[in-house]
Amino acid sequence: MKGLIERAASDLINSKRAIALTGAGISTESGIPDFRGPKGIWTTDKEAEAKAYERYELFLRDPKSYWEEMLGEKGTHGAFYNEVRKAEPNPGHYALAELEKLGIVKCVITQNIDGLHPKAGSKNVIEYHGSVHKLRCPSCGSRCGFEEVSLEKLPPYCKCGGVMKYDVVHFKEPIPFDVMNEAEKEALECDLMLICGTSAVVYPFASLPRAAKLGRRTSGTIIEINAEPTPLTREGISDYLIQGKTGEVLPQVVEAVRRWRLNRD
Ligand SMILES: [Zn+2]
């Protein structure tokens, strides 16, 4: 693994536009429960899974009930969101924020809704599936924090008159246009993609590494950091895999980057 960490550090230093893609694997180390693992929320609670599939339709049909459920006044989903909101970043999140401060990683595109990248200090973050810390108006696309709206009367309304929902993208809900366009642009323009803790099988997010690989004029590097090989490894989308926990591997990569720079200067 040591050799691969050095290789990643060298590739990162030589890149002009590196970006990171992250998924559930980077957040499980912060105690965020997963959904489909052996002890996942939906593996153990089929009713919760069925409800999750209907949540977006519930918002469209009956936004008041949707909000009551989301805030935990009805059902158990609110408790999960509250737990996620309290989570703290781990060394993997801090390492990516550090790579941005060093001027190497230009952007983080995450599937996670926990807001841990901004919390760790990453500035340019695209939250592909939204954030538990924000509300969004599907009519005009604007977002705001919970401190900016009153939840005394449900549902909350946007200034444009639209009904607001959680920024989190639910099942069957389209990915917001701004997020999808920005992410695609970043994937096409990058010359290095660092994929951390995700097997990238859920579309349309899964199209990003493929776009980076296939849609590019000059060749770039795609590096995976994951506990196990993924379809990206097997399909040859990634150039190499550093197998391990993101919270352990990423800080070592940062350390190697610093060493390389020191030796070069
Ligand atoms: Zn609006």
Please choose, from the candidates 70, 191, 72, the residue with its C-alpha nearest in 3D space to the C-alpha of residue 130.
70
Phi/psi at 234 (5° precision): -70, -35
Residue with tokens 């180390």: 29
Q: Which amino acid is at 221?
A: T
Structure confidence at residue 75 as a pLDDT band (50, 70, 90): low
Integer angstrom CA distances of residue 4 from 8, 184, 225, 229, 250: 6, 27, 10, 15, 12
Please choose, from the candidates 163, 172, 167, the residue with its C-alpha nearest in 3D space to the C-alpha of residue 62.
163
Give me ligand 1 centre to Cα 209, in Å: 32
- Catalytic residue flag (residue 93): no
Give me ligand 1 centre to Cα 50, in Å: 29
Query: What is the predicted pLDDT for the residue at 265?
Result: 67
Query: What is the predicted pLDDT for the residue at 1?
Result: 73
Q: What is the pLDDT of residues 164-183, one digit of tens each?
A: 999 999 999 999 999 999 99
Is the whole-model pTM more than 0.85?
yes
In whole angstroms, give the CA distance from residue 12 to residue 10.
5
Higher pLDDT, 261 or 55: 55
Query: What is the predicted pLDDT for the residue at 228?
Result: 94
Query: What is the predicted pLDDT for the residue at 52?
Result: 85
Those residues whose C-beta lies under 8 Å from the C-beta of residue 5, and which sit 6 or more positions away, are: 242, 249, 252, 253, 256
Least confident segment among 74-78, 185-189, 199-203: 74-78
Give me ligand 1 centre to Cα 118, in Å: 24
Give me ligand 1 centre to Cα 241, in Å: 42
Q: What is the pLDDT of residues 202-221, one digit of tens each?
A: 889 999 998 888 766 556 89
Residues 77, 93, 117, 129: which is the catalytic one? 129
- How many angstroms from the chain centroid is the CA of residue 262? 31
Query: What is the predicted pLDDT for the residue at 77?
Result: 62
Say if residue 187's pLDDT is above 70.
yes
